[in-house]
A and B are shown apart, each in its own frame.
Chain A
Amino acid sequence: MIAITPRGFKDVLPEEARIREKLTRSVQDVLELWGYAPIETPTLEVLSVLETASQVDAGAFRLFDADNKLLVLRPDVTLPVARIVASRLGTADAPYRFRYVLPIFREQESLRGQAREFTQIGIEQIGQEGPLSDAEVITILVESLRACGLRDFRVAICSVAVLRALVEASSQAPAWGAAVLDAFHTSDIVALDELVAAPELDPRYGAALSALIRINGGKEAFADVRNMVADLGLSAALEDMERTWELLEVAGVSEDVVVDFSIASELDYYTGLVMEAYAPGYGKPLGGGGRYDNLLASFGASAPAAGFAFSLERVMAALAEQNRLVSEQVGIQQVKGIDDADTVRQVIELHRAGKSALIAARKGAAVLPGEAQQEDAAILTSDAQREGAVILPDDAQREGGRS
């Protein structure tokens, strides 16, 4: 038998694991500064429970347990956290701020080259709304991606409230409105142009929708949207978004954010802000999120909520694309005392001094440089040569990182 893993599942060996740990810690530090507390949800959930809130993606892994309950392997973290808040915490003590780093499982078609397990880093902010809350979530996403060492990424944002207001104000048949939202959902500009050419539609709405899906820019983009919707009496929908943008400027993150309504997606789910993060040279979104004010109500606890999640694996792939994926150098002393007790004593002593030290495996004076290499070692030579300790010079010390 060939000892394989299932398609789309992989092992993580030390070099990669160290990078994952370091990136995760950098992001956790950012989230901690913003007052987000760690939370964990179980790997398995009851499918029917999650489905009370939202259609669980057809791509979720399903299985039956011994009680014949249909279970699902954590398809995302937002739904389980909403369940926790509704069933265990209640909304009386809100707001809540949660952060997580958890594996997610998604079925994928064969031969598409896609992972079926990946790690999501994300936040859930429950019980707050308005521009200040939106700006906080966007800012934290930008700061998290910066903390990973990514450069030149963009967080695209839009508001489905603006889009919905425009569709409703056009007073067309519901089927037409649904088709327009679907064109936004699938980023199909060609289909949208066909829909807005409908003869019974007031051409001002057609022009506004057609321009909306093409907007891509910073502050100047708001002027474009404002000009379009002001005539139609829809300025209010835009004001919140403009206030959010001003706060992003204050936070110093607006240069990494663009307004782009073509990202509007999952319109049954998002109620306001929608965001998606992209990095140059990497063809898939790193992650995304937005505002889902109706989600908790479907679990019986009404509260506004917003959040984001991004894939650790995709961020690493984007970093590799930018040659910024750098392994840590770990300085380690190898210790071999005159006898075993002496070795242990010296190792402990070094540890107490805050220095990494490992017990050299071989007896005798020489320890193979190979061992040093294995641990990515750069030997600390300063307080070396103490009696009984064998400190090896390391010719395998690496210059800088590797990509």
Chain B
Amino acid sequence: MMMDKVDTLVERDLRIAIPKGSLYADSIAMLARAGLDMDGLDDPGRTLVWYKDGVRYLILRPTDIPVFVAYGGADCAICGKDSIVESELDVVELVDLGFGACRFVVAEPEKSDRRADDTYDRLGMLRVATKYPHITKAYYDRKGIQVDIIKLYGNIELAPLCDMADRIVDITATGTTLRENHLRIVDDVLSSTARFIGNPAAVRIDRRVRTIASALATCVKGQE
């Protein structure tokens, strides 16, 4: 796909952020289907920035993507809905790309001396471990349940197994990790898929962002 030159606007390389990790391969494939030349990006090694045809691809940690997009470090990006919600930043959600489906769930130990509900009845407070404190707080506020949130950066499953928390809020694609750690799902918080997002200014004044968005939307429709 040729990137349209934007009328009179100062032409600068378009900056597209791509998430490292589980969404990476699908993101590259999707952008390639939308007509962007992604050759060589399949295996970028330790590259942080990849330049091609007036586009700079930034390879970033998923949780940093909303920050780069909201503050104009990237003009647009592919990013999980989970990271967008958790960041509480101002980005424009343009297309639901459909892949990378996962859901946020509340889970607790299958077998435990005390059930979390009993704990809440007697102590009036639940301790919830999560990587996603904002999503967790919004969920429990909606439910009218008072919680102490413990922010962790990995292996959330361990927190209830060590009695540090009564429940966890975490993402799961298949539920395997939860089962392996003898946790059972008690509620759904929200479901997430990968989105194409844009910086609020870039979406409004850089036509290239909208051109890519409509090409991606066409790809997604074609798959359905």
Q: Which of B71, B202, B204 interacts with A262 by CB under 8 Å?
A: B204
Q: How far apart are the CA atoms of A276 and B8 in the complex, in Å?
A: 19
Interface centre among B70, B96, B202, B204 (most CB of A within 10 A): B204
Q: Are B204 and A189 in contact (CB under 8 A)?
A: no
Q: Are B10 and A189 in contact (CB under 8 A)?
A: no
* A270 beta carbon closer than 8 Å to chain B: no
Q: Are B210 and A216 in contact (CB under 8 A)?
A: yes
* A152 beta carbon closer than 8 Å to chain B: yes
Interface centre among A190, A278, A285 (most CB of B within 10 A): A190
Q: Are B10 and A283 in contact (CB under 8 A)?
A: no
Q: How far apart are the CA atoms of A260 and B9 in the complex, in Å?
A: 17
Q: Are A187 and B200 in contact (CB under 8 A)?
A: yes
Q: How far is the CB of A184 from chain B (nearest CB, A)?
A: 11
Q: Which residue of A lies closest to B73 (CB)?
A: A283
Q: How far apart are the CA atoms of A279 and B205 in the complex, in Å?
A: 8
Q: How far is the CB of B93 from chain A (nearest CB, A)?
A: 5
* B130 beta carbon closer than 8 Å to chain A: no
Mark interface residues in B1-26 (1 if CB within 8 Å of A CB, else 0): 00000001110100000000000000
| Interfacial chain A residues near B70, Cβ < 8 Å | 283
Mark interface residues in A278-289 (1 if CB within 8 Å of B CB, else 0): 111111110000
Q: Are B204 and A281 in contact (CB under 8 A)?
A: no
| Interfacial chain A residues near B200, Cβ < 8 Å | 187, 278, 283-285
Q: Are B12 and A281 in contact (CB under 8 A)?
A: yes
Q: Which of A152, A153, A187 interacts with B93 by CB under 8 Å?
A: A187
Q: Which residue of B lies closest to A286 (CB)?
A: B201
| Interfacial chain B residues near A191, Cβ < 8 Å | 93
Of residues 130 through 168 on chain B, the ones whose CB sits less than 8 Å from some CB of chain A are none
Q: Are B93 and A263 in contact (CB under 8 A)?
A: no
Q: Are A280 and B206 in contact (CB under 8 A)?
A: yes
Mark interface residues in B80-110 (1 if CB within 8 Å of A CB, else 0): 0000000000101111100000000000000
* B212 beta carbon closer than 8 Å to chain A: no
Q: Are B10 and A281 in contact (CB under 8 A)?
A: yes
Q: Are A152 and B73 in contact (CB under 8 A)?
A: no
* A298 beta carbon closer than 8 Å to chain B: no
Q: Are A113 and B71 in contact (CB under 8 A)?
A: yes
| Interfacial chain A residues near B8, Cβ < 8 Å | 152
Q: Which of A216, A262, A322 interacts with B10 by CB under 8 Å?
A: A322
Q: Are B205 and A278 in contact (CB under 8 A)?
A: yes
* B27 beta carbon closer than 8 Å to chain A: no
Of residues 178 through 210 on chain B, the ones whose CB sits less than 8 Å from some CB of chain A are 195, 199-207, 210
| Interfacial chain B residues near A263, Cβ < 8 Å | 204
28 A-B contacts (beta carbon < 8 Å): A151-B10, A152-B8, A152-B9, A153-B205, A154-B205, A187-B92, A187-B93, A187-B200, A187-B203, A188-B93, A189-B94, A189-B95, A190-B93, A190-B94, A190-B96, A191-B93, A193-B96, A263-B204, A278-B201, A280-B12, A280-B201, A282-B201, A283-B71, A283-B72, A283-B200, A284-B201, A285-B200, A322-B10
